[in-house]
Amino acid sequence: MPSRPSPAKPRRPAIATDPRDRGAAAPPASQGRRASPTITGATVMTLVDPTVRAGAWAAGSDAPEKPEVRIGFIPLTDCASVVMAAELGLDRKYGIRITPTREASWAGVRDKLVNGELDAAHVLYGLVYGVQLGIGGPRKDMAVLMNLNHNGQAISLSTRLADKGVRDGASLRAYMTRERREYTFAQTFPTGTHAMWLYYWLAANGIHPMQEARAITVPPPQMVANMRLGHMDGFCAGEPWHARAIADGIGFTAETTQGIWRDHPEKTLGTTAEFVQKYPNTARAMVAAVLEASRFIDASASNRRTTAQTIAAPSYVDAGVDLILDRMLGRYANGLGRTWDDPDAMQFHRDGEANYPYLSDGMWFLTQHKRWGLLKEHPDYLAVARKVNRPDIYRQAAAAAQVPLPASEFRTARLMDGVVWDATRDPKAYADGFAIKA
């Protein structure tokens, strides 16, 4: 199989900024906080007995070495656990103060992590691995501390395609066969999750994402404006921008990402390996606080509503509460008349199953990077995952937050095309085994 270098930058459209597309501009890094709706009961901030924490962490003093931490985020629904850790005061419970800082693009998040302007970030899983291997930007040793969510992304297509009878991947394939032209689809970062979901979905429907379409990179909050202006035929990103595309009448949901891979990994709490080495107790405290916030969000529909109201603020996602809440609750409408309750909507915790940094999840992204030519050679899949993912830090934080652990660092999955991912078998054969690849 011929190797393929990192794709050259495609001819980019002028990125539109429409005042109706909230969240397109990043506000100053310093945000107001502690303005969330009243929290009661078990969520009231209480201090953990230091002896309990020391017993759980068993590493000498457990006092955070860096009491103030800046965690970057992109305005997406799945930044919620980072935001709520700060808003609920759960960070102070573990001896730190989190300042969530809103960023304009994933490339900006990458650069600020690498140069130390951010201590950690709500970040694309595949972006962290790309930086680790020097694809999609500068190379630096990185760390995935925890997973922030499963599911909850989508692929939207233009209503112009709907007018031609396109409803899903199969009808898109049929239309592209009949109507030969350049088709453009947007993702949010070349090595990121959205690029991988988009490419997997297109390929599963018989469309080569590199040869039969053009892929462009657009920051999530700018997707709707650019589709409105006709710069692309579809996009893959996080919520609430698919709900926004439907509300504005310019797009429809062709597929949810949980339809591609049920309970897929998505965003992580990512940082550099250097940060973890220098501030291990701070890293543990961040994970413990975000774990508790994740548990709060998933505990009830009421908590999800409180979360949606909080992150809808201009300093966070800056979108209507209903646009955020409906899909958080699994209440889906595709924009073409179909509605359904999705049992596999975005999960933030699920008794810790949605948070554990499975080695197999990281390895899967590497197989897709190799599949699409972002990696020229096969890496040592397991060795890279063991270097990046930090289940050791997670286990200690989970003990402090009283979150159960899974039985294994690996999990398997059957994706939409019927192909089974099992990292304990042969990841090289898996990466090379797809009919459609670079």
- For 31-57, what is each residue's pLDDT tens digit? 334 334 434 333 333 334 333 343 344
- The domain limits of the chain are 41-150+266-333+343-432, 153-263
Instruction: Give 14's pLDDT tier (boundaries 50, 70, 90).
Output: very low
- Note the pLDDT tens digit of each residue in 102-156: 999 999 999 999 999 999 999 999 999 999 999 977 999 999 999 999 999 999 9
Long-range contacts, 109-113 (Cβ 8 Å, 24+): 109/72, 109/74, 110/136, 110/137, 110/189, 111/137, 112/72, 113/72, 113/142, 113/270, 113/271, 113/272
pLDDT of residue 296: 98
What percentage of the chain carries pLDDT values higher than 90?
A: 85
- Note the pLDDT tens digit of each residue in 175-209: 999 999 999 999 999 999 999 999 999 999 999 99
Kindly tell me the sign of the dihedral angle through the C-alpha atoms of 266, 260, 154, 295: negative
Model confidence, pTM? 0.88
Cα distance between residue 16 and residue 258, in whole Å: 29
In 225-363, the DSSP E strands lie at 234-238, 251-256, 267-272, 331-333, 339-341
Burial class (CB in 10 A: 0-12, 13-18, 19+), 170: exposed
pLDDT of residue 201: 98
Which fold does the domain 41-150+266-333+343-432 belong to in CATH?
D-Maltodextrin-Binding Protein; domain 2 (3.40.190)
CATH assignment, 153-263: 3.40.190.10
- Paired tokens of 139: 């190379």
